[in-house]
A and B are shown apart, each in its own frame.
Chain A
């Protein structure tokens, strides 16, 4: 990856300059917050699948908007984005652009149509639209893989802020350092909470989590800006005055990356936004297609509040770090680990009270947990609903389905924990890989499936396979070698330059589109029944709350839910 700062493989992942020790008030704050999440999860605990996957299709505008926001804003937004902006300068802004503007594409091309299609999971769409269990299985595996890759970044973020709050317990588990012990502890808590509740609990929780994380972030920014004399009431605009003093590294365009890399990464993040299963599934949970549209607008607004603020936090943090610790740029410069917690560091270096810094740290944990919830629910429903119930055991009882669902949440938790013990990249970059995958495999299927009624089964199978292979090539080139001691990453510098792992969808997406279209044209058209489902997704005729496009097309009534 040309010039993108990658966290050096760990001597230690402990961030310098951060005060790592047990702190009673912040610890109580986090414990109280987690207790609240569990209580909400318990109150809204679920026993049937309809509630578990789509919350009874009862969620309204504002609530779904907040859930979209909380679901969306992960440790990568809360911590990783400010980190990238501080270290990579102008290139770091790809995350600000990529993770907001994609929602408009999602809105105009997909949100309402998805609601009308109205199934349970993202692989459901692929399987039913292309009449293929193989396509369903590929989509389900992709969904599981996205959850896994994405969650590694979240686990890393939680562990880093956990260090500030709970201190260094290196050696508590033999062979693991303080950061790694914290990864294990945080993931156990997350998985425990998730297996107890389900989507219903998760949706209710996500609205609460949004409020906690946005307050922590924005109030944190206001206080840091005010106490240091950077800003008064609108730090999101006032940090502009500071940029000139931060050094050219902070704002100079294309200093740490090429124009090509900037465009590739942004593109990949945008199409990834439109293909992420845990984002797409939010549109199945709303009451009507109009709600699907307006909750997207609300969601984007809630997201923008944080994304307007993150660059300001990065600017303040960079300046505080330079004044109090070391120059941020040059040699030695700020390390990756320190940059990842720059939001917490900025508050700590401003000499704010411990409980307040703890509040900001707790916000990071809330962000990570909310997103892991969405990801793991999507991943586990892919396994339980799409693979187990639809392919392996069609007569599965609800008890069995929920059992398999919980089992796969635990499996995802274990895999994520193992991979997060020694992460290969920064939080934002790790999450970026998941976006490249979603943009390469799922987005083309949703877009073509929704907007081109002649896209068919062979086309989808060929397209998705191409997408998976296309995504794997730069991952093997750049990321896998980090986990193999005898190899040096990247294997091919030229490939890394033109098909970077974090921006690979710029190359793979057009190829997948072409493959899907060509194969579809060369093979038989899909059955009329399928075409009518697509048409029903675009019809402006209102539908009932529990109705799916397929219901309307086949029998006009409400089929008993396929359980």
Chain B
């Protein structure tokens, strides 16, 4: 956003966006999501980049938790089948029967928290996701050309921040 670099004028008082979202939120409002390619390996929007970083991190840990213990058991059978202290399980049995499902559950919780935090960072509010924010305006715009419409609505909501 190159527009925000004129700080000398007094009428730039509206430059804050009410403290809602900061830079990420502005990036979000200036993104035309329908015009940006969806690519798992090469994300095209800041939001997608941040999101995929979380996704891939979780995926890597998931691979270790699911396939790690059984592969280790295959490679080093004796070490992995030793009995655990206190619980009495053979180690491989515990890691597979209890460790894998539990890891998936913890990872899922972690991911959903991260994803919520991401929404907050970008100023996205699902609580009011109802008819008010985007949908209403879009419907009022009565089926015009879509890209114009989304630009129009993002301008409406980001008025004050960016002087063009």
What is A's interface to B at a CB cutoff of 8 Å?
90, 93, 96-97, 100-101, 103-105, 107-109, 112, 236-237, 240-244, 251-254, 259, 262-263, 266, 270, 288-290, 293-294, 296-297, 300-301, 304, 307-308, 311, 451-453, 531-532, 534-545, 547, 552-558
Contact = CB atoms under 8 A, between A and B. Distances in A.
Question: Which of B34, B92, B118, B126 has the largest count of A CB atoms less than 10 A from its CB?
Answer: B34
B103 to A, nearest CB: 8
B58 interface: yes
Interface string B69-87: 0110110010011011001
A542 B108 contact: no
A553 B92 CA distance: 50
Contacts of B74: 253-254, 259
Contact of A532 (B34, B80, B133, B139): B34
A104 B36 contact: no
24 contacts: A90-B93, A97-B96, A101-B65, A101-B66, A101-B104, A107-B108, A236-B98, A253-B77, A290-B126, A290-B129, A297-B105, A297-B112, A304-B102, A307-B101, A451-B38, A453-B37, A535-B34, A537-B38, A538-B33, A538-B48, A556-B135, A556-B146, A557-B139, A557-B143
Question: Which of B74, B83, B125 has the largest count of A CB atoms less than 10 A from its CB?
Answer: B74
Contacts of B107: 104
Contact of A311 (B37, B97, B126): B97
A535 B36 contact: yes
A544 B129 contact: yes
B36 to A, nearest CB: 6
B39 interface: yes
Contacts of B15: none
Interface residues of B, number: 72
A545 B143 contact: no
A536 B34 contact: yes
Contacts of A531: 37-38
Nearest to A90: B93
Question: Which of A236, A537, A538, A552 has the largest count of B CB atoms less than 10 A from its CB?
Answer: A538
Contact of B34 (A107, A539, A555): A539
Contact of B28 (A108, A241, A540, A558): A540
B119 to A, nearest CB: 7
Contact of A100 (B81, B92, B104, B149): B104
Given A253-B80, A451-B40, A535-B33, A96 B87 contact: no
Contacts of B108: 103-104, 107, 296-297, 300
Contacts of B84: 240
A537 B33 CA distance: 10
A300 B130 CA distance: 27
A547 B59 contact: no
A311 to B, nearest CB: 5
A263 B97 contact: no
Question: Which of A104, A451, A452 has the largest count of B CB atoms less than 10 A from its CB?
Answer: A104
Nearest to B108: A297
A538 to B, nearest CB: 5
Contact of A542 (B37, B98, B118, B133): B133
Contact of B83 (A236, A244, A253, A532): A244
Contacts of B47: 540
A236 B98 CA distance: 9
Contacts of A536: 33-34
Given A90-B93, A253-B74, 20 more contacts: A90-B92, A90-B96, A96-B97, A97-B66, A101-B104, A105-B59, A237-B98, A253-B70, A288-B129, A290-B129, A294-B112, A308-B98, A308-B101, A538-B38, A539-B34, A540-B122, A542-B125, A556-B138, A556-B139, A557-B138
A244 B62 CA distance: 29
A556 B143 contact: yes
Contacts of A252: 81
Interface string B87-117: 1111011101110111111011101100110
A218 B70 CA distance: 27
A451 B40 CA distance: 6
Question: Which of A270, A296, A451, A555 has the largest count of B CB atoms less than 10 A from its CB?
Answer: A555
Question: Which of B87, B104, B108 has the largest count of A CB atoms less than 10 A from its CB?
Answer: B108
B70 A259 contact: yes
A193 B34 CA distance: 44
Interface in B125-143: 125-126, 128-131, 133-135, 138-139, 141-143
Contacts of A251: 81, 90, 92-93
A236 B105 CA distance: 16
Contacts of A237: 87, 98
Contacts of B20: none
B97 A93 contact: yes
A260 B39 CA distance: 32
A251 to B, nearest CB: 5
Given A101-B100, A104-B104, A288-B126, A243 B93 contact: yes
A240 B62 contact: no
Closest 5 A/B residue pairs (Cβ): A556-B138, A542-B129, A539-B33, A240-B89, A100-B101
B38 A453 contact: yes
Nearest to B36: A535
Contacts of B128: 542
Given A253-B80, A541-B134, A542-B125, A452 B39 contact: yes
Given A108-B59, A535-B33, A555-B143, A541 B124 contact: yes
A556 B36 contact: no
A542 B128 CA distance: 8
Contacts of A452: 38-40
Question: Which of A244, A253, A451, A556 has the largest count of B CB atoms less than 10 A from its CB?
Answer: A556
B34 A553 contact: yes
Contact of A289 (B67, B101, B126, B131): B126
A417 B133 CA distance: 51
B112 A293 contact: yes
Contacts of B143: 554-557
Nearest to A254: B74
B21 to A, nearest CB: 12
B101 A108 contact: no
B33 A544 contact: no
Contacts of B88: 240-244
B116 A290 contact: yes
Contact of B62 (A104, A544, A545): A104
Interface string B4-46: 0000000000000000000000001000011111111000000
Contacts of B83: 244
